[in-house]
Amino acid sequence: MPRFAANLTMLFTEVPFLDRFARSAQAGFQGVEFLFPYDHPAAEIRKRLDEHRLYLVLHNLPAGDWAAGERGIACHPDRVAEFRDGVGLALRYARALGVRQLNCLAGKAPPGVPAARLHETLVANLRYAAKRLREEDIGLLVEPINTFDIPGFHLCRTRQALDLIDEVGADNLRLQYDLYHAQRMEGELAATLEKELRRIGHVQIADNPGRHEPGTGEINFEFLFKHLDRLGYAGWVGCEYKPAATTEGGLDWRRALCG
């Protein structure tokens, strides 16, 4: 059975962020993840992790002005200095919180910038981030996002991300494979997991349609969880879904689909 991590950006949202750690532990999770820690002192997050014996699986590099609709700046040629400053900030939090992987969101393509320039910028930024993280034995992830939910997102398909990883050429850069985004863009979930497992650093889940908990849509999670076990996947599976009702009320999927 996979090890599941509660995504605190999506789950237990009826309580303040710092209270979600306790709720996660009470619900039986041993790991957590979230988009960003930067609105809270690292010491406050560390306190919650230690108090509830939780492992922080990952968080993202700073991704621009999220409230204004930005979804990453790694492909933005005019914001390279900001991106590099963000890598430094993420590393300071990672040291304090014991995080061993950080995810990079490529961002939406800014208007009027040639695709080749966006790609060149993204490759250079990923090389910079991977080098900085490697110095502290931390992995870097890059994640394709479906363009139905986020129109214009620069990195949207698994093959595109894998080719990017090859071009960057960093041994600590791997794929964050979100089954929901992949299902919306391309399908072939089981085949991709089997073929590319060695290059997948983290798996995330949500069902489709609706992005709700497993068992609410078309994805055969019972099969995929057993498939991950057969393949020997040793990483975490992040529960990055929107509960159809309450978080606790929708957690029966773990028993129903995993035995």
Q: Is 222 a catalytic residue?
A: no
Q: Could you please report the per-residue DSSP string of 4-18?
A: EEEETTTSSTTS-GG
Q: Which is the catalytic residue, given 44, 186, 240, 248?
A: 240
| pLDDT digits 0-9 by tens, 222-238 | 999 999 999 999 999 99
pLDDT at 1 over 80: no
Sign of the dihedral through C-alpha 29, 54, 104, 234: negative
Q: Is the pTM of this model over 0.75?
A: yes
Residue 6 near residue 27 (C-beta atoms within 8 A): yes
- The reply to whether 248 belongs to the active site is no
Q: How far apart are CA 256 and CA 247, in angstroms?
A: 16
Catalytic pick among 14, 70, 82, 143: 143
CATH 3.40.50.1260 for domain 3-258:
no
Whose structure tokens read 């929107």? 242
For the stretch 9-18, pLDDT in tens is: 999 999 999 9
pLDDT, residue 2, reads: 87
Angle among Cα 202, 205, 209 to the nearest 5 degrees reads 150
What is the rounded average pLDDT of the residues 139-149? Answer: 98
pLDDT digits (tens, 9 = 90+) for 4-54: 999 999 999 999 999 999 999 999 999 999 999 999 999 999 999 999 999
Residue appearing with tokens 């020997």: 232
